[in-house]
Amino acid sequence: MKRPSSSSSNSCGSKNRNGVLCHHNLTAVLRTAKKGPHVGMKFYGCSLWPQNGCGFFQLEEMQAVSASSMPSDIETQIQKYEAKLKKLKTKNEQLKLEVSMLKVKVDKHPKGEKIVMFGLILSWIIFAFSWMVKS
C-alpha cells in the first residue's frame, strides 16, 4: 500500500512522467528536498518511503542531463568554446597592444614642456614689469 509521505523531505508528490523506477521496480515519486545538501532540488525517491522505502534517490536534473548529453553534442560545445576562447585571446592581445601604445603616448606627453613654457612666460612678464618700473 502506497502512503504519501509527510516527512520534511517530501513537499511534492507529483506523478513521475519520465519512467524512473526505484529499487522495488515501482514508479518513483518526484519530491523536493527540504533539508540536507540538496535543499530545494527536485529528486526522485521510492514511493514507499519512509515506511518501506528502498533508499532510492536520483536528482531530477541527472535524468535530464543523461538523456540530452550525447557525445557529439559535447564535442560541438567544446569546439564552440575553443573558437570563442581563440577570439578572446586575439582580442586580449589587441587590447594589450593598445594599452602599450597609450602608455607610450602618455610618456611622450609634454607635461614637462608645459611647465618650462609657463616658467619662461612668467619670467618674461616679470622682466617686462621690472623693466617698465625702472624706466
pLDDT, block means (10 residues), the chain with 135 residues: 39 54 85 82 83 80 51 80 92 90 73 76 86 78
- Give residue 21's pLDDT: 84
The DSSP code sequence of 32-62 is: E--SSTTTT-EEEE-TTTTTS----EEEHHH
Cell numbers at 64, concatenated: 535530464
Q: Residue 31: which of 52, 56, 51 has the closest Cα? A: 56
